[in-house]
Structure 1
Amino acid sequence: MGGDECPKEQWKGDPRTQELIAERGLADENALQSWFITRIAARVAERGRRVLDWDEILEGEFPPGVAVASWRGMTGAVTAARRGFDVVSCPDDQVYLDYRQSERPDEPISVSVPVTPADAYAYAFDPVPDGLSDEQAARVLGGQASLWSEHMDTPRMVDYYAFPRLCAVAEALWCGPGRREFDEFSTRLYDAHLPRLDAIGVEYRPRTGPLPWQTRPGIVGAPATKADREAHMKRRVAAIRS
């Protein structure tokens, strides 16, 4: 239902919001967001459904039955499972398919860190994080790949970003944990499966890089350096743990 990346600066400067915080006896703006989500979750539960929300909800209190989508790495998955909540793992640095696919300068509208088929499949993506008991691990419902299309102006470009990485995510989730051979998978992917995608008109990213009409010359994206990425992840983990 959303609630991710919700800035609080406007709330801090808005008299009516501050009045509401005081009226409800809430500690701060994070508590206000939790209060709002709790009200929505209760209405959803009354109608026989439940809320799935991003891991920002771990920064406050929320009602039983809510499931957590852990997107800021896997820290949210660990925290939620240990607190007794169901989890869908969707860490952005492994399964966000709008992120760039290589370090090449001709990747269209580069965003954040590269996510390759090997990242999504080889040994990187397991929806069940380490450090959980069997009971806690059972709280992990599965994994999810996410693709945000604000930089994709046509269905052809959605194809480019989604495939073949989505095939790797599917393979990882179907195989489950344990030994994986990326070379064996890549042989099946590139030799056997990509011809199937060709046959149905999927315009995936070629292994050799983007084709000329898949590039976006002159349009600058937002690539992240390794140092930027590490600093960003530290801030995320600190927010969840606090």
Structure 2
Amino acid sequence: MGVLLAAEVRRILRSPRFLIFTVGFPVVYFLIFSGLYGQGDTPDGAATTVYLMVSMAAFGAISASVSTGGRVAVERQAGWNRQLRLTPLPGWAYLVVKAAVAMLVALPALVLVFLVAGLFKHVDLTALEWLRVFVAAWIGVLPFAAIGLFIGQMATADSAQGMATVTMLLFSLLGGLFIPAFLLPSAMATIARLLPSYWIADTARAAVAGDAPALQGILVCVIWLAAAGGLAVWRYRRDSLRV
């Protein structure tokens, strides 16, 4: 598992275009939105710049983690998965490594948005507050790592990137990352609270304020993680029958 994980990380680092697009866009969006709307407070009392920082960091982390599904689809089409099944590497280890890679590629998006917010937008948090918001946002990526893995197991190499993009945009838009949930109609706001994308940002904002994560948010994220992870395992086992 360690060897495979190291190889996956090296391969990502050799793909600067992947890093630029997954890390650069959230930073650009944050700078634009904070420049337009960065004054004042939101209805829940959070500073608008902090609110936007968390939303765009969550968007970047979601985008990066879901996009890893494209690589899984390419590997399936090239037959790499079949080769790995002939090695001593167990199937569960392959899935765990892929989920770990999705979590790792989410790190640069989180770190860079937070860094830009602190250096250029004067977001002033204590070291403990930065740590809390970072950990909350990063753990919240777990359901999307599973979703990206499921997309990679279902899609073809040609369709995977499109499916990942549509999935990422739907979760971001409906989850209130681009349009705050308190501005949405009540029906859409209800839908937002059923999505992990809403709760990854809500939990991170609660961490900034020093509040405990909402029990509903934990439950929603666990359900999505279990459902997407279970579907990814099911699809992987189905593919295994073809070896």
* TM-score normalised by length of structure 2: 0.28
Of structures 1 and 2, the larger Rg is shown by 1
Structure with the bigger RCO (C-alpha within 8 Å, sep 6+) is: 2
